[in-house]
Amino acid sequence: MSDFDLELKQLRKVYPGGTIAVEDFDLQVSRGEFISFVGPSGCGKTTTLRMIAGLESITSGDLFIRGRNFTHIPTEQRPTATIFQNYAIFPHMTVRENIEFGLMVRKLSSAEIKRRVDAMIDKLELGDVADQKEGVLSGGQKQRLALGRGLVTEPDILLLDEPLGALDANLRKSIQEELKILQRELGITFVFVTHAQAEALSMGDRVVVMNAGRVEQISAPFELYTRPKSPFVARFIGRNKIISGRLVRSDGTTAEIATEFGALRGVPSFSGGDAGNSAMAVVPSEYVDVYTTGAEAAEDGLDVVAGRVTAYDPVGQVAFIAVTLKDGTEVRLETYREKVHGRGIEPGSEVELRWRPERTTIVLDAA
């Protein structure tokens, strides 16, 4: 038995019209892992999910589930279930009939069907609406019904394509939490597609960032945020401060770039790299501190960039600060008000942004 529930090897999809939707996709997913796919519209998330489900043919490469090669096995013989954004609930059937459907197709005994469906209705708290049809269900109930229909088949892997996209923000948040708890409880591998960066990071044990059919980075959320491996990821994850420059040196553990704000240091995301290569310093905004220029000397070893405050907006405990650097870029920070209290920060103040260089990642621009 393989250590991995799901393994993709050099997966590639070319649609009949010639569009290369997915290329060079390698991934290994452990049993019970919650993996998110995130990336801009058209980057190949749904195509990859549909190849795993067997709803789309695989142009080349291999797909393994629990060590067995499923590349050319039809969808109904795969141990996967899929939940789509629109849920695809049958409107003429009751909640119970919708959940039964997948088991009827599989020709299970009626006693087994009843046992599983009752348990699922119970687990998802759909008892009150078990004999109702889609029309009267709330957004959350529809979402749970869609889940129930997938889970009742006892798949090894549950595939979810933007399953929360149709929900309003509050419901979305609470269902995110429910989904995560349910997944831990069941111990089933979830592959969860979303184009919402925050959702991918809060849900996934690991996150696959895709761009134009290719994998940019596969990392745990914290690492993705603090140690981006490419300019695309650094920008996509948001809230990062990015300053461009040219590589001065890198020894594999620390790197320095020359920028118009002076030298900046950080941990390189690459090995090698030649002096003069176009590169960027990426600093998560949580690590950036703001001081009024000249008021307090910087601690030794910090990197410092000067700017001018263009907005200061205290809201309750939190303060939003916008600082414009001399090249015109605006850096937005969110900090505790208490932390900057008494530093004389107000619109127009000359300030210094300071941070520890070991928090910075130095990323090379694509050649």
C-alpha separations of 30 from 35, 155, 176, 228 in Å: 9, 15, 21, 22
Interacting residues of 44 by C-beta distance below 8 A, sequence separation 6+: 13, 21, 22, 25, 210, 212, 213, 214
**Binding segment toward ligand ATP, per CB under 6 A, in 44-52, 272-280, 290-298, 334-342:** 44-52
* Nearest residue to Mg ion on Cβ basis: 46
Residue 245 interacts, among ligand ATP, Mg ion, none and using kind-specific CB cut-offs from 5 to 8 Å, with none
**Counting contacts by CB under 6 A, is residue 90 touching ligand ATP?**
no
Q: Shortest Cβ distance from residue 46 to Mg ion (Å)?
A: 3
What is the chain's Cα-based Rg? 25
Residue among 2, 19, 174, 293 that touches ligand ATP (CB under 6 A): 19
Residue 281: exposure state from Cβ atoms within 10 A (0-12, 13-18, ≥19): buried
Residue among 36, 46, 226, 349 that touches ligand ATP (CB under 6 A): 46
Residue among 32, 42, 140, 273 that touches ligand ATP (CB under 6 A): 42
Beta bridge partners of 315: 318
Among candidate residues 261, 284, 262, 260, the one with its CA nearest the CA of residue 332: 284
Q: Nearer to ligand ATP by C-beta: 46 or 98?
A: 46
**Binding segment toward ligand ATP, per CB under 6 A, in 36-44, 230-238, 263-271, 350-358:** 36-44
**Counting contacts by CB under 5 A, is residue 47 touching Mg ion?**
no
Beta bridge partners of 309: 323
Largest CA distance in the chain: 79
**Counting contacts by CB under 6 A, is residue 45 touching ligand ATP?**
yes
Tell me the site size for ligand ATP, rule CB under 6 A.
13
C-alpha separations of 53 from 1, 26, 168, 178 in Å: 21, 16, 28, 24
Residue 241 interacts, among ligand ATP, Mg ion, none and using kind-specific CB cut-offs from 5 to 8 Å, with none
Q: Shortest Cβ distance from residue 172 to ligand ATP (Å)?
A: 16
Q: Shortest Cβ distance from residue 197 to ligand ATP (Å)?
A: 12
Phi-psi region of 213 (alpha: psi -120 to 50; beta: other; left: phi over 0): left
DSSP string, 199-264: HHHHH-SEEEEEETTEEEEEE-HHHHHHS-SSHHHHHHT-SEEEEEEEEEEE-SS-EEEEETTEEE
Site for ligand ATP in 289-348 (CB under 6 A): none
**Binding segment toward ligand ATP, per CB under 6 A, in 41-49, 148-156, 317-325, 336-344:** 41-49
**Binding segment toward Mg ion, per CB under 5 A, in 10-18, 39-47, 96-104, 181-189:** 39-47
Q: Shortest Cβ distance from residue 244 to ligand ATP (Å)?
A: 28
Beta bridge partners of 263: 258
Q: Nearer to Mg ion by C-beta: 50 or 227?
A: 50
Interacting residues of 127 by C-beta distance below 8 A, sequence separation 6+: 121
**Counting contacts by CB under 6 A, is residue 47 touching ligand ATP?**
yes
**Counting contacts by CB under 5 A, is residue 46 touching Mg ion?**
yes
Residue 222 interacts, among ligand ATP, Mg ion, none and using kind-specific CB cut-offs from 5 to 8 Å, with none
Residue among 44, 148, 228, 231 that touches ligand ATP (CB under 6 A): 44
Q: Shortest Cβ distance from residue 43 to Mg ion (Å)?
A: 9
Site for ligand ATP in 158-217 (CB under 6 A): 195
Give me the residues that bind ligand ATP (CB under 6 A), please. Answer: 15, 17, 19, 21, 39, 41-47, 195
For Mg ion, the binding residues (CB under 5 A) are 46
